[in-house]
C-alpha cells in the first residue's frame, strides 16, 4: 500500500484502480450468489467467480479505507459522526435492496424473517463501526505502525475464539451479528473484518525510506519473486476458504488473514506497475473512475441486484448471468454518473436546511 501516491494535489491512482477492479469483481460475484442456478454456483466456473469475489473485493475495500484513515487530519468527533452515518446508511441500504422482498413478506406471500435482511452485517455497517473504533484507537496507538499491525493480527484471530452469547431468534442475535459469530446474516462482522482496516492503517505508517531490499516494488525481484511464489503455491488454500462463503470466508481466521497480507502486498505492486505502464489507456481510466465512485456504485448495484433477486433467485443459467453482468455494471456506472452530476444541484438545498434560524 505504501506505493500509493499520497500528495494532496494528485489522485491516488493505484488506490482508485484497486477499488475499481474490486467493484467489477464484486458485481459479478453478487450476480452469481443471487441469480445463478445451484449447478452453476457449484461448478468450476462458479468457484473461479467466488475466488475473484473474495480476496480482490472486501479485504481490498477495507484496507484502502484504513490506509486513507491514517492520512486524514479530521477530528475524532468528525470520524465518530461519520461512522454513525455509515452504519445508518448500511441499514438503509439493507432496506432498499430488500424492498421487493419485504413487500412480499408484509403481504404474507413469503414466510421469512424480515429482520435478517434489515439488520444484515454488510460492508457499510462494518465501515461505520470501523471508523468509530479508529477514531478511538488513534488516540492510544498514535503513529506506532507495530501496534496497529499487532492489533490487526489480534482482531483477525479473535473471532475464532469469541463465545456465542446469542439465543436463536433473540434480539441479542441481531446485535451480535454485527460483531462476531457464524450467524446467517453476519456477512462482514467486525471480527475478523476490522483487521483489514487496521492493516491498511499500519501500511500507511510504514516508513517510506525503507532499505532497498524491502521496498514494495514489483521490480524489486529479491522481494517480489519469493512473494509471488508463496502466493501462487498457496492459492488452493485461499480458494478453499473463499469458495465457502458462509462457513469459512465470512468468518475466517488469522491464517487466511496472513495469506491476505501477502496477496494484497503483491496485488498492490502489480496494480501500481500496471498503472505506470498503461495508466493512460481507456480501460484503466474507466476502472479508476469506477474506483473513485465506489460507494455510490456499491449502493446502486445492490439495490438493482437485491430487488431483482426476489423474483429470480438462483434460477439463471450462465449466458443469462453474463447478460445481467453486462447490464448491471454499465447501469450502475451510468446512474452513479447522473448522481455525481446532480450532486452540486443539491448543495443549495442542503445549505437551506442547515441554515440556522
pLDDT score, position 214? 56
What percentage of the chain exceeds 70 in pLDDT?
88
Q: Is the pLDDT of residue 338 over 50?
A: yes
Of 49-63, 199-213, 323-337, where does mean pLDDT reach its minimum? Answer: 199-213
Question: In angstroms, rounded to a whole number, what is the distance separating the alpha carbons of residues 176 and 168?
Answer: 11
pLDDT score, position 216? 65
Q: What is the pLDDT of residues 135-192, one digit of tens each?
A: 999 989 988 889 999 999 999 998 877 777 665 666 778 888 899 878 888 899 999 9
Q: What is the pLDDT of residues 233-260, one digit of tens each?
A: 999 999 999 999 888 999 999 999 999 9
pLDDT score, position 352? 38
- What is the average pLDDT score of the chain? 87
Question: In angstroms, rounded to a whole number, what is the distance separating the alpha carbons of residues 275 and 284?
Answer: 7
Please state, as a whole number, how many other Cβ atoms lie within 10 Å of the Cβ of residue 273.
16
Q: Which residues contact 261 (CB under 8 A, 6 or more apart)?
A: 199
Contact present, 332 and 27 (Cβ < 8 Å): yes
pLDDT score, position 168? 65
Q: Where do we find the cell 479530521? A: 74
What percentage of the chain exceeds 90 in pLDDT?
65
Q: What is the pLDDT of residues 24-39, one digit of tens each?
A: 999 999 999 999 999 9
pLDDT score, position 80? 92
pLDDT score, position 181? 79
> Among residues 242, 259, 141, 240, which one has the least CA distance to residue 196?
259
Contact present, 67 and 1 (Cβ < 8 Å): yes
For the chain, how big is the Rg over CA atoms in Å? 21
Give the Cα-Cα-Cα angle 272, 230, 239 (nearest 5 degrees).
90
Cell, residue 62: 477495507
Q: Is the pLDDT of residue 332 over 90?
A: yes
More reliable by pLDDT, 110 or 303: 303
C-alpha distance across the termini of the chain, in Å = 46
Mean pLDDT of 313-323: 96
pLDDT score, position 169? 61
Contact present, 57 and 190 (Cβ < 8 Å): no
Cell, residue 35: 441469480
Q: Is the pLDDT of residue 3 over 90?
A: no
Amino acid at each position: 500500500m505504501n506505493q500509493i501516491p499520497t500528495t494532496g494535489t494528485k489522485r491516488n491512482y493505484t488506490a482508485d484502480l484497486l477499488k475499481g477492479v474490486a467493484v467489477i469483481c464484486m458485481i459479478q460475484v453478487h450476480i452469481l450468489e443471487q441469480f445463478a442456478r445451484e449447478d452453476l454456483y457449484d461448478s468450476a466456473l462458479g468457484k473461479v467467480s467466488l475466488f475473484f469475489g473474495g480476496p480482490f473485493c472486501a479485504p481490498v475495500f477495507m484496507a484502502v479505507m484504513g490506509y486513507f484513515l491514517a492520512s486524514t487530519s479530521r477530528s475524532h468527533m468528525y470520524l465518530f459522526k461519520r461512522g454513525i452515518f455509515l452504519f445508518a446508511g448500511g441499514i438503509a441500504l439493507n432496506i432498499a435492496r430488500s424492498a421487493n422482498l419485504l413487500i412480499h413478506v408484509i403481504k404474507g406471500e413469503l414466510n421469512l424473517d424480515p429482520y435478517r435482511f434489515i439488520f444484515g452485517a454488510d460492508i457499510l455497517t462494518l465501515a461505520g463501526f470501523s471508523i468509530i473504533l479508529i477514531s478511538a484507537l488513534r488516540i492510544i496507538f498514535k503513529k506506532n505502525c507495530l501496534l496497529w499491525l499487532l492489533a490487526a493480527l489480534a482482531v483477525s484471530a479473535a473471532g475464532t475464539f469469541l463465545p456465542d452469547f446469542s439465543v436463536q431468534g433473540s434480539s441479542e442475535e441481531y446485535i451480535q451479528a454485527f460483531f462476531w459469530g457464524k450467524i446467517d446474516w453476519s456477512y462482514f462482522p467486525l471480527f475478523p473484518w476490522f483487521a483489514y482496516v487496521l492493516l491498511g492503517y499500519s501500511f500507511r505508517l510504514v516508513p517510506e525510506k525503507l532499505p532497498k531490499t524491502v521496498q514494495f516494488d514489483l521490480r524489486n525481484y529479491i522481494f517480489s519473486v519469493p512473494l509471488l511464489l508463496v502466493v501462487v503455491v498457496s492459492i488452493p488454500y485461499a480458494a478453499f476458504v473463499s469458495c465457502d462463503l458462509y462457513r469459512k470466508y465470512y468468518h475466517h481466521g488469522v491464517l487466511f488473514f496472513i495469506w491476505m497480507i501477502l496477496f494484497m502486498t503483491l496485488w498492490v505492486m502489480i496494480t501500481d506497475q500496471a498503472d505506470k505502464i498503461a495508466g493512460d489507456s481507456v480501460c484503466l481510466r474507466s476502472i479508476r473512475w469506477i474506483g473513485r465512485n465506489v460507494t455510490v456504485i456499491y449502493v446502486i448495484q445492490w439495490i438493482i441486484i437485491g430487488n431483482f433477486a426476489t423474483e429470480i433467485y438462483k434460477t439463471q443459467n450462465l449466458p443469462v448471468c453474463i447478460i445481467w453482468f453486462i447490464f448491471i455494471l454499465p447501469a450502475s456506472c451510468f446512474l452513479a454518473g447522473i448522481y455525481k452530476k446532480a450532486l452540486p444541484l443539491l448543495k443549495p438545498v442542503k445549505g437551506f436546511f442547515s441554515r440556522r434560524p
